[in-house]
Amino acid sequence: MIALDTNVLIRFLVRDDEAQASRALGVVESCRAAEDACFLSNVVLCELEWVLDSLYHASRADILAAVRMLRTTPPFVVEDADLLDRAMAMFASGKADFSDYLLGEVARVRGARTTYTFDRGLRRAEGFTLL
């Protein structure tokens, strides 16, 4: 297994720099051909959302589609698939950022009763307490 940094993943998905996109695709295809895995950490997925939203102005639907594709398509392997699925479900119906829901799920799984936040988008989200 190898791991991918966010910048490689962005080039693979967005392909806005042909030379880097080609190299990123080559790494992914090499893993696929060798039946190896490309690991995507929770941090990389949070950064992915931030870059897609802030730099590429991707919609919530586009961000969700990208994360779903990565979650279900070999050779990609995510840090915690069940946790990611719950965060994606909350993002699909919620108002906050995907990264907020993912961070909240990580905290919940690690035993946190709640995650305190100032983010008003999480006002009604399970597992969060608005300050």
pLDDT in tens, 18-50: 999 999 999 999 999 999 999 999 999 999 999
Residue 74 has pLDDT above 90, yes or no: yes
pLDDT score, position 76: 98
Closest by CA to 4, choosing from 55, 79, 68, 72, is 79
| Mean pLDDT computed over every residue of the chain | 96
In the prediction, which pLDDT does 37 show? Answer: 98
When pLDDT is averaged across residues 75-93 and rounded to a whole number, the result is 96
State the residue for tokens 């961070």. 103
Span 107-124, average pLDDT = 94
pLDDT score at 124: 87
Q: What is the pLDDT of residue 101?
A: 96
| Predicted TM-score (pTM) of this structure | 0.92
How far is CA 37 from its chain centroid?
17
Beta bridge partners of 130: 117
- The pLDDT score that the predictor gives to residue 87 is 96
